[in-house]
Amino acid sequence: MLKRLNIKSDFVKNSATLISGTVLAQLIPILLQPVLRRIYSAEDFGALAIYLNLFGVITIISSLRYEAAIMLPKQHNQAANVVGLSFVINLIVNTFIFLILLIALKPICNFIGLNDKYSLYLFFLPLSGLAYGLFQNINYWLIRQKAFKASTQNKISRRVVEGSTQLITGFAQLKGGLFYGDLAGNLANVISGFNQIRKNHFKWTYLSKTRIKWAFKKYREFPLYNALPTLASSLATTLPYIYINKFYSTEAVGQIDLTRLALSVPLVFVSSTLSQILFQDITERKAHKKPVFNVLKKVMFIVLAVFISEVLVVDLIAPHLFAFVFGEPYRISGEYGKWLVLSFGFNFITSTFSFLLITFQKLKLNAIWQITYLIGMGSLYYFGHLPIIQFIQLFIAIDITFQLILILLFAYSVKEYQQAL
């Protein structure tokens, strides 16, 4: 499809490499789901979903979003010191999170409604956060070097280790197997990443205290206008799951999480991959003051086609498919999917182009949107008395409204850049 749309050959090649690797990496946990869902309970998966939502928040603040600046310096030695800076911040932040858990584990579990039998697994969060944060920095370096094959290999190794650990612990009937698998996958990811970065022109001799301080000052807007707002956005996506766990049940979270996993397949397969490629491509075009509209328009056609296809498929067969593949208890996940597919579809679109406000330096505009998005999702707290399906419908309506506003902000940023050429 990319070739028919006439996107330049490098883009096609890079996209094919990343997409094929990402598809293979994500097929592993998806293919394991029918087995894992019969080994572990819906409550186990619900607890894991809460854990992963908290983990998602931690990954935002781990490096204070300095990793997003790795693509920007013209000189590799400058970019390497942004990597070094991110490593240091990542270590400090996750040490602080560990201390918070030591002091306030029980109040945190009470607030989010997490059963005590899962509470100790929260101590995996800072270790996984450290590993994931390190890998994110490595991954941005690999993308900067156009080492897309290396990036995909790392994703595959992560999923193989995660899935095999969850299967082994599950069949052995060891408690917490889902959590152990996630931790093992993150550790495998960073080990593989360090091996790849060494092969792709990263030199530790690039690093110095003076250059790291330069990077800290040069990109100081990223924590203020990127990290904090992105944290707000991450909290906004986390809150509905926490509210469902608090107001309804952990089992309901597990059922909705399966819906999320299934509906996010195109988001993972296509959106994250195209976003990484586009980020590199649009950054280069901007540096050389070249137009970007035509490339973005062609990719938008692909994204819309995937979105529409998913909506039609889910509406027709989701409940029956979920019951057949994952077991009758998960038929309700398919019913939830008929509503949630709309929300995931719009998130699919905005995730693909999420880098645009950063690339065109609209950090303040991005910050305003993300903070208001958090306020909108936070308002769901006052509707915990509704039946769960009405709660989900309200959540979807709020989410789609904000995603449409974000798409308009993307269009405004691109239009302003094009007019300035």
Task: Quickly list DSSP for 33-58.
Answer: HHHHHHHS-HHHHHHHHHHHHHHHHH
Confidence at residue 273, expressed as pLDDT on a 0 to 100 scale: 66
Q: Report how many domains make up the chain.
A: 1
- In this predicted structure, the answer to whether residue 324 has a pLDDT above a threshold of 80 is yes
Residue 68 sits at the vertex; the CA angle it makes with 63 and 69, to the nearest 5 degrees, is 105
At 17, the pLDDT band (50, 70, 90 cuts) reads low
Q: How confident is the model at residue 417 (pLDDT cuts 50, 70, 90)?
A: confident
Q: Judge whether 66 and 86 are in contact, CB under 8 Å.
A: yes
pLDDT for the residue 387:
92
CA-nearest of 144, 51, 129 to 89 is: 129
pLDDT of residue 259: 87
Is pLDDT of 63 > 50?
A: yes
Under DSSP, the state recorded for 355 is T
Instruction: Please classify residue 334 by burial: count the beta carbons closer than 10 Å to its beta carbon, then call 0-12 exposed, 13-18 middle and 19+ buried.
Output: buried
3 is a domain residue: no
What pLDDT, on the 0 to 100 scale, is given for residue 1?
A: 41
Q: How far is the C-alpha of 409 from the C-alpha of 390, rounded, in Å?
A: 29
Q: pLDDT at position 229, please? A: 74
What is the pLDDT averaged over residues 358-364?
Answer: 77
Query: pLDDT over 90 for what percent of the chain?
Result: 27
| Residue 251 domain flag | yes
Helix, strand, coil share (%) of the chain residues, nearest 5: 85, 0, 15
pLDDT, tens digit (0-9, with 9 covering 90-100), for 303-323: 888 888 888 888 888 888 888
Mean pLDDT of 116-123: 92
Confidence of residue 181 (pLDDT cuts 50, 70, 90): very high
Q: What percent of the chain has pLDDT over 70?
A: 90
- On the question of pLDDT at 178 being above 90, the answer is yes
- What distance in Å separates the CA atoms of residue 353 and residue 279, rounded to the nearest whole number? 8
Residue 48: exposed, middle, or buried by beta-carbon count in 10 A (0-12, 13-18, 19+)? buried
pLDDT of res. 267: 65
Higher pLDDT, 16 or 367: 367
Query: What's the pLDDT score for residue 5?
Result: 43
CA atoms within 13 A on the CB side of 97: 24
Residue 146 lies in a domain: yes
What pLDDT shows up at residue 409?
A: 92
- pLDDT band per the 50, 70, 90 thresholds, residue 10: low
Mean pLDDT within 357-369: 80
Say if 60 falls within a structural domain.
Answer: yes
The amino acid that residue 387 corresponds to is: P
Instruction: Indicate the average pLDDT of the chain.
Output: 83
pLDDT tens digits along 377-400: 999 999 989 999 999 999 999 999
Most trustworthy range by pLDDT among 80-89, 329-338, 376-385: 376-385
Of 174-178, 259-263, 265-269, 380-384, least confident by mean pLDDT is: 265-269
Asked, for residue 122, whether it belongs to a domain, the answer is yes
What's the rounded mean pLDDT across residues 370-378? 91
CA distances from 281 to 257, 272, 345, 356 (A): 33, 14, 24, 11
- Chain position carrying tokens 């419908």: 393
Answer whether residue 4 is part of any domain.
no
pLDDT given at position 402: 94
pLDDT tens figures, 212-239 = 888 888 887 777 766 777 788 788 888 9
Q: Give the per-residue pLDDT at 337.
A: 87
Number of neighbours of residue 10 by Cβ within 10 angstroms: 13
Q: 70, 79 in Cβ contact below 8 A?
A: yes
Containing structural domain, residue 222: 9-420
Backbone angles phi, psi at 361, to 5 degrees: 55, 45
Q: What is the reported pLDDT for 382?
A: 93
Average pLDDT in the 43-66 region? 88
- pLDDT tops 60 at residue 2: no
The answer to the question of residue 1 being in a domain is no
Confirm whether 2 is domain-assigned: no
